[in-house]
Amino acid sequence: MVGDKDAERTPLSFNSFTFDTQAVQENSFRFDRGLLAQIEQFRRSPIQVVVADVVLDEIFAHLVDRMKTAVEAHEKAQDKLVEVGLIAAEEAARAKALPDPENLSRKRISTFMRAIGAAIADVDAVSAKDLTRMYFQSLPPFSRTKKEKKHEFPDAIALLSLEAWAEKNDRYILAATKDSDWAAYAQSSRRIKVVDDLARAMQLLQEHAAKYRDALHRLLTDMAHGEASHVTHQFSTKIENALLIYPFYGEGHSVFEYELDQIELTYLRHEFENQNGDFEVTIVRVGMDQIVAEIRLKAQVRASAIFSFSVRDSVDKDYVSMGSGEAECETEIPMDVLVTFSGDIFTHDVNVEIVEILRARQTIYFGLIEPDFLRHPEYDEPDENQNLDDNEDPDPSASEDDIPF
């Protein structure tokens, strides 16, 4: 495992970069934004991106499964809308006409590979003799537990193909992965070393990362102390916008069955995480008048949600609606954001261009939740005859068409 102390020697030691399937999954297959999009910076640099073809096969399989699951949920939702009469069957059929998951997955991965200029470490370069020797001797990445060994063949093939590619091209590879088997293999590899964080791996490949990190640390210190107000204002606005598009979910405890209908978050303020005055900052990219950094912070928000409630009828074995209810709370959300600054970071003459939420606690807990009629008895349905005079009977001749909703 490569440590922070390796940062100064890394630009000279490593001239190639790779990642595993887990790194792509953790970033939700967002090839065109976030951390994965930042890998493109190495396309026209001395750093060669290389990906094992076994890893590509795994990424493809996982992405197809993810898409098929989403398509299935989408189709069920359309059927439900038809069932309750919100849309016509023809409209649902048109909405179900989606691209083929396999074709779209293949296209997205190919576009990403071209964007980052990646080379392919071919499985054909793997020696069957080396592979079987590692398996029977339980050498990393194979586990000594027989039950798990068979699941580690893809990792072994990927690592051996990367090792063979590195030997052939005289390259030294920095791999971004949290996989402990990859890390165990790298302990004895001359060509491959592992970092367990994608952002930190990219920081190790920035030639002057320490200098830019210090400059950004000074800027965040000024922002925390109420200085650099224009940067703070831009930063807050960008976070507020990012909260609108990041998926959050609401939960609570209730005597009823419930489903979340709607949730909205209102940004209040934020605070940068720091340990003994040291902000948690990772320099991901350094360019001409621009730097990209991952920053850890806590955002204070006001959350409001609408839940729908139901109870199960033990006779009909069906669920009966109990109406809806609103809930509200204030909460603190820890998150990692990817921030793009433009301008001169050393003089603090910068603008905040983009803020993307990479990771955040997605579940908002609202405590006790219940239908509005239990909290507000005055919202009970009025008696159907309350507007009639005491001595006046309802008109028995009134037809159903005369009754307004």
Residue 333's pLDDT is 97
Q: Percentage of the chain surpassing pLDDT 70? A: 87
**Beta strand pairing call for 48-52 and 119-121:** parallel
Band (pLDDT 50/70/90 cuts) for residue 207 is: confident
| Closest to 178 measured CA to CA, from 395, 373, 355, 22 | 22
- Average pLDDT of 390-395? 50
What is residue 401's DSSP assignment? G
Among the listed ranges 36-50, 136-150, 242-256, 314-328, which one has the minimum average pLDDT value?
136-150
Predicted confidence (pLDDT) at residue 326 exceeds the cutoff of 90: yes
Q: φ and ψ at 100, to 5 degrees?
A: -65, 125
pLDDT at residue 288 in the model: 85
How many residues make up the chain in this entry?
405
**pLDDT tens digit string along 284-294?**
999 889 999 99
pLDDT above 80 for 2: no
pLDDT over 60 at 305, yes or no: yes
Q: Which residue has the higher pLDDT, 149 or 193?
A: 193
Position 402 scores a pLDDT of: 43
pLDDT at 232: 95
pLDDT exceeds 50 at position 35: yes
pLDDT at 11: 43
In this predicted structure, the answer to whether residue 4 has a pLDDT above a threshold of 80 is no
Rounded average pLDDT over 319-330: 92
Residue-level pLDDT at 151:
72
Q: Is 308 in a helix, a strand, or coil?
A: strand
Whether the pLDDT of residue 6 is over 60: the answer is no
pLDDT in tens, 208-256: 899 999 999 999 999 999 999 999 999 999 999 999 999 999 999 999 9
How much is the mean pLDDT over the chain?
Answer: 88
Mean pLDDT of 374-401: 51
The model's confidence at residue 146, banded by pLDDT at 50, 70 and 90, is: low
pLDDT of 1 reads 62
Q: What is the mean pLDDT of residues 51-76?
A: 96
Contact between 219 and 231 under an 8 Å Cβ cutoff? The reply is: yes
Confidence category of residue 378, pLDDT binned at 50, 70, 90: low
Residues 124 and 128: their CA atoms lie apart, in Å, by 10
Q: Which residues pair with 257 in a beta bridge?
A: 310
Query: Which residues does residue 344 pair with via DSSP β-bridges, in sequence order?
Result: 349
DSSP characters for 361-387? --EEEEEE---HHHH-GGGSPPPTTTT
Question: Residue 195 above 70 pLDDT?
Answer: yes
Write down the pLDDT at residue 245: 94
Tell me: pLDDT of 14 over 70: yes
**Which among 303, 309, 306, 307 is positioned nearest to 364, based on CA atoms?**
303
